[in-house]
Amino acid sequence: MPATALIEKLDERGAEYELLPHRHTETAAAEARVLGVPPEWTAKTVILRAPTGFVRAIVPASRRVDLARVRSVLGVEDVALATEQELVGAYPGFELGAVPPFDTSYAAEVVVDLHLCAADHVVFEAGTHEESIRMRTRDLIDLSDARLAEICEH
């Protein structure tokens, strides 16, 4: 069953998207393989903890988040990966490890890595480990009200 609130939000906003069911995957790289999508076109959501609250760092599945870059972009001294304990209950309606770039239940700052902008369309988890969404990259950025920055390791 898809993350209903997310699908409703996409429909409400008139977003064009494609829901892609697939076998269970635990990582964005595995999701890319199963769907036959290049990992650089698969958006991985990494939840970070900053003094201002949670931050969603959206990066290609083929890359890793550079915390120093995120600190610089946010203008804060402390940014760390959120722990599973912190995330339990923070994103109701989504499976742990399958949080999409945006949702309707929890306000969080979103930073999208510039490398994703090279793709016309991206794929990301729809809140479960068995479904993904494909949509225009521009729509993902607009719907998430994201800040664009280079936040990946080189």
In CATH, which of 3.40.50.800, 3.40.47.10, 3.90.960.10, 2.40.30.60 is domain 4-149?
A: 3.90.960.10
How many helices (H) and strands (E) the chain has is answered by 5, 8
Instruction: Sketch the domain layout of the chain as residue ranges.
Output: 4-149
The encoded tokens of residue 50 equal 């900053």
pTM of the predicted model as reported, rounded to 2 decimal places? 0.92
- Amino acid 48: pLDDT: 95
The encoded tokens of residue 58 equal 């959206």
pLDDT tens digit sequence for 93-137:
788 888 888 865 666 799 999 999 999 999 999 989 999 999 999
pLDDT tens digit sequence for 34-55:
999 999 999 999 999 999 899 9
